[in-house]
Chain A
Amino acid sequence: MDLLQYMDEGWRSVLIPVGSQAILGLRGSRLIVDPHRGPTALMEPQSGMDVPGSDYGAFERDVLGQDSIARVVLGYDLGLQSTSFAQRYLARDIAQAANDWTIAEWLPRDERLHAMMLVATSIPQAAAAEIRRVGGNDRMVAVALGCNGLGRPFGDPAYHPIYEAAEELGLPIVIQVGSEISGDQPLPAVAGGNPSTYAEFRVHAGHANWNHVASLITEGVFTRFPKLKALLVGGGAAAVPAQLWALDYWYKMTGPAFPWIERLPSEYFADHVRVSTLSLEKPRQPERLAQALGAVAGIERVLLYTSGYPDQEWETAEQIAERLPAEWHERIFRTNADEFFRWPGWLAGSHHAAVTGNSAGGR
Chain B
Amino acid sequence: MSTYAGPIVDVDVHNTVASPAVLKEYLPARWQDYVSVTPPVPNTTIGLGFFTPAPPVRRRDGGPTASTYQHIREDVLEAGNVFKAILTHGIGQYPELGNHDFMLDVCRAANDWMIDTWLTLDDRLATVLVVPTQMPEEAAAEIHRLGDHPQMVGIVFSSNPLRRPLGDPIYHPIYKAAVEHGLAITTHVGVEHASVIPGGAPSSNMTATVNFAGAAGHHISSFITHGVFEKFPEAKFVLKEYGITLLPSLMWRLDAEYQRMRSESPWVKRYPSEYMREHVRLSTQPIATGPRRRDLMDYLSVIDGIDDMLLFSTDYPHSSMDDYEYAARQLPAAWHRKVFCDNACASYGWTPPPVELEQRIERSAA
Q: State the A residues within 8 Å of B (CB).
A: 38-40, 148, 150-156, 180, 187-200, 202-204, 207-212, 214-215, 218-219, 236, 238-239, 241-251, 253-254, 257-258, 281-285, 288-289, 291-292, 294-297
Specify which chain A residues have a CB less than 8 angstroms from the CB of B98 in the assembled complex: none
A-contact 0/1 string along B209-234, CB 8 Å cutoff: 11101111111011001100000000
Assess the A187–B298 pair: CB atoms within 8 A: no
Specify which chain A residues have a CB less than 8 angstroms from the CB of B201 in the assembled complex: 152-153
B31-69: which residues lie under 8 A (CB-CB) from chain A? Answer: 53-54
Specify which chain B residues have a CB less than 8 angstroms from the CB of A155 in the assembled complex: 203
Assess the B257–A242 pair: CB atoms within 8 A: no
A313 CB to closest chain B CB (Å) equals 9
Give complex CA distance A210, B246 in Å.
13
Q: Closest A-chain residue to B205, C-beta based? A: A254
Known interface pairs A202-B256, A203-B217, A214-B210; 9 further A-B residue pairs with C-beta atoms within 8 A, sorted by A's residue number: A193-B218, A199-B225, A211-B200, A211-B214, A218-B204, A239-B246, A249-B286, A253-B54, A281-B253
Known: A281-B252, A288-B302. A191 touches B245 (CB 8 A): no
Specify which chain A residues have a CB less than 8 angstroms from the CB of B209 in the assembled complex: 246, 250
**Interface CB pairs A-B, < 8 A, 14:** A151-B200, A187-B200, A190-B198, A196-B226, A202-B256, A202-B257, A207-B198, A207-B215, A210-B210, A215-B199, A215-B203, A246-B213, A292-B248, A295-B296
**Number of A-B residue pairs having CB atoms within 8 Å of each other in the complex:** 239
Assess the A248–B288 pair: CB atoms within 8 A: yes
A256 CB to closest chain B CB (Å) equals 11
Say which size band chain B's interface belongs to: 35 or more
Assess the A200–B225 pair: CB atoms within 8 A: yes
Assess the A196–B257 pair: CB atoms within 8 A: no
Complex interface: stretch among B99-107, B115-123, B160-168, B351-359: B160-168
Give complex CA distance A210, B211 in Å.
8
B54 CB to closest chain A CB (Å) equals 6
A-contact 0/1 string along B254-268, CB 8 Å cutoff: 111100110111000
Known: A192-B219, A281-B256. A245 touches B198 (CB 8 A): no
Q: State the B residues within 8 Å of A (CB).
A: 53-54, 160, 163-166, 168, 191-192, 195-207, 209-211, 213-219, 221-222, 225-226, 243, 245-246, 248-250, 252-257, 260-261, 263-265, 286, 288-292, 295-296, 298-299, 301-302, 319-320
Known: A200-B218, A211-B199, A281-B253. A291 touches B298 (CB 8 A): yes
Assess the A282–B210 pair: CB atoms within 8 A: no
Assess the B245–A241 pair: CB atoms within 8 A: yes
Specify which chain A residues have a CB less than 8 angstroms from the CB of B298 in the assembled complex: 291-292, 294-295
Q: Closest B-chain residue to A186, C-beta based? A: B195
Closest 4 CB pairs of A and B: A249-B288, A242-B245, A192-B218, A211-B199
**Which one, A194, A196, A253, A282, contacts B252 given CB within 8 A?**
A282
Known: A39-B263, A148-B200. A236 touches B253 (CB 8 A): yes
Known: A281-B253, A283-B252, A296-B295. A197 touches B200 (CB 8 A): no
Known: A38-B260, A250-B206, A253-B54. A192 touches B215 (CB 8 A): yes
Assess the B302–A196 pair: CB atoms within 8 A: no
Assess the A204–B290 pair: CB atoms within 8 A: no
Give complex CA distance A197, B289 in Å.
32
Specify which chain A residues have a CB less than 8 angstroms from the CB of B54 in the assembled complex: 253
**Which one, B199, B248, B252, B289, contacts A245 given CB within 8 A?**
B289
Assess the B198–A250 pair: CB atoms within 8 A: no
Specify which chain B residues have a CB less than 8 angstroms from the CB of A247 in the assembled complex: 210
Assess the B255–A284 pair: CB atoms within 8 A: yes
Assess the A192–B200 pair: CB atoms within 8 A: no
Known: A251-B206, A281-B256. A199 touches B221 (CB 8 A): yes
Give complex CA distance A196, B53 in Å.
30
Q: Closest A-chain residue to B289, C-beta based? A: A245
**Which one, B165, B204, B206, B254, contacts A195 given CB within 8 A?**
B165
Give complex CA distance A294, B297 in Å.
11
Give complex CA distance A219, B261 in Å.
39
Known: A191-B196, A215-B207. A197 touches B225 (CB 8 A): yes
A354 CB to closest chain B CB (Å) equals 31
Assess the B214–A204 pair: CB atoms within 8 A: yes
Assess the B214–A197 pair: CB atoms within 8 A: no
**Which one, B196, B253, B290, contacts A295 given CB within 8 A?**
B290
Give complex CA distance A326, B237 in Å.
40
A25 CB to closest chain B CB (Å) equals 16
A308 CB to closest chain B CB (Å) equals 14
Assess the B206–A254 pair: CB atoms within 8 A: yes
Assess the B198–A257 pair: CB atoms within 8 A: no
Assess the A156–B248 pair: CB atoms within 8 A: no
Specify which chain A residues have a CB less than 8 angstroms from the CB of B296 in the assembled complex: 245, 295
Assess the A245–B245 pair: CB atoms within 8 A: yes
Assess the A292–B263 pair: CB atoms within 8 A: no
Specify which chain B residues have a CB less than 8 angstroms from the CB of A196 in the assembled complex: 165, 168, 222, 225-226
Known: A199-B257, A214-B206. A283 touches B199 (CB 8 A): no
Specify which chain A residues have a CB less than 8 angstroms from the CB of B253 in the assembled complex: 202-204, 236, 238, 281
Give complex CA distance A148, B253 in Å.
25
Assess the B165–A193 pair: CB atoms within 8 A: yes
Assess the A291–B302 pair: CB atoms within 8 A: yes
Give complex CA distance A195, B226 in Å.
11
Give complex CA distance A296, B299 in Å.
9
A2 CB to closest chain B CB (Å) equals 30
Give complex CA distance A358, B144 in Å.
65
The listed residue with most B CB atoms (<10 A of its CB), out of A155, A188, A242, is A242
Known: A193-B196, A195-B218, A199-B221. A257 touches B205 (CB 8 A): yes
B216 CB to closest chain A CB (Å) equals 8
Specify which chain B residues have a CB less than 8 angstroms from the CB of A193 in the assembled complex: 160, 163-165, 168, 196, 218
A304 CB to closest chain B CB (Å) equals 18
Assess the A188–B198 pair: CB atoms within 8 A: yes
The listed residue with most B CB atoms (<10 A of its CB), out of A40, A238, A246, A254, is A246
Assess the B205–A191 pair: CB atoms within 8 A: no
Q: Closest B-chain residue to A297, C-beta based? A: B292
The listed residue with most B CB atoms (<10 A of its CB), out of A38, A193, A210, A219, is A193
Known: A191-B214, A241-B290, A288-B302. A200 touches B222 (CB 8 A): yes
A225 CB to closest chain B CB (Å) equals 18
Give complex CA distance A191, B203 in Å.
16
